[in-house]
Amino acid sequence: MDKAITHFKRLHPARIKLLRVIMVDKDMNEIRVLESHFPEARVLICHFHVIKYLKEMRSKPEFGQISSDDAVQIDACTHKLVYADSDISYETAHFALKGLCERIGNSGFFDYFEKNWHDCQDRWVMHRRADLPHFQNHTNNRLESFFGKLKDGVDGSKSMAECVKTLVAYDRRVENEYRYRLARIGQFVHSGYDEEMANVLRFTTPYVAGKVAEEYAFALDRLETYTFLRDDEDGHILHVDGGKKSYVFRDDDWRCDCEFSVSMRLPCHHVIAFRKSASAEGPVIPWASIDERYVS
């Protein structure tokens, strides 16, 4: 793996610095190698594998036998830990797991959790990755799907050269299919979109437009509840209040520090609400804050 990454970095010397998020399953050897090669990126553990692995460890005989009802309660606690949206939520679930394990005589599992998971929350707890551009994907299911399709043409009897040939052929086929979809005549339409959203759909995809549409509708619905205050030191910075939290965005690139804007690289409802209330020039939905990866 170390040699493969070194070769990959050699082929992409400039763009490699843009890497911010790497999604893996729980293999500490792989994580250590990745963190040594990409110190500026955050290595995250796939939520599917976290939940699956904790469930498997919970059922280990060395931790003792427990009833099916108790097992369900432990799984519910670990699920809450994974998807905790704040430190308070995490601590509440953590306290509940500790109490449950002590009550049912399964302290061995809690000790395992403390040793292997509690001190590396940045890798697997939901709210610890809120400020990362993960595009709201918390699993490596796309890669798993890719490998699943490859298994139709690759097995253990093939040589390395044959495996690489199959991989390149599949990648080329997928690229050709994408180019076809990109170049075909016509464009997507949506009867429920107004002119603002129709324009977004024209140069993005239905998936992206759907995400923006949710923010657009929320912005119009909450328009009267937000207050905007321009920063005294930097005139391009605006502070927005009126929701559960306060946020900050800039009017020169329309990037906000809310989770949606940071993780999806798309215009959020805070920015849209401000542009609507301020009657800003141009479209209410700022096209400039739609990341280039989405533009077709």
pTM (two decimals)? 0.77
| Token digits of residue 230 | 């321009």
- For CA atoms 96, 97, 101, 107, give the dihedral sign: negative
Share of the chain above pLDDT 70, in %: 98
Residue 95 has pLDDT above 60, yes or no: yes
Q: How many CA atoms lie within 13 A of 159 on its CB side?
A: 3
Residue 85 · residue 127 · CB < 8 Å:
yes
Residue 127: count other Cβ atoms within 10 Å of its Cβ.
16
Q: What integer pLDDT is reported at residue 182 of this predicted model?
A: 66
Residues 220 and 44: their CA atoms lie apart, in Å, by 34
Between the alpha carbon of residue 195 and those of residues 120, 126, 214, 272, 278, the distances in Å are 46, 35, 15, 15, 19
pLDDT digits (tens, 9 = 90+) for 157-173: 888 888 888 888 888 98
- pLDDT tens, 212-268? 999 999 999 999 999 999 999 999 999 999 878 899 999 999 999 999 999 999 999
pLDDT digits (tens, 9 = 90+) for 41-87: 999 999 999 999 999 999 999 998 999 999 999 999 999 999 999 99
Distance CA 16, CA 31 (A): 17
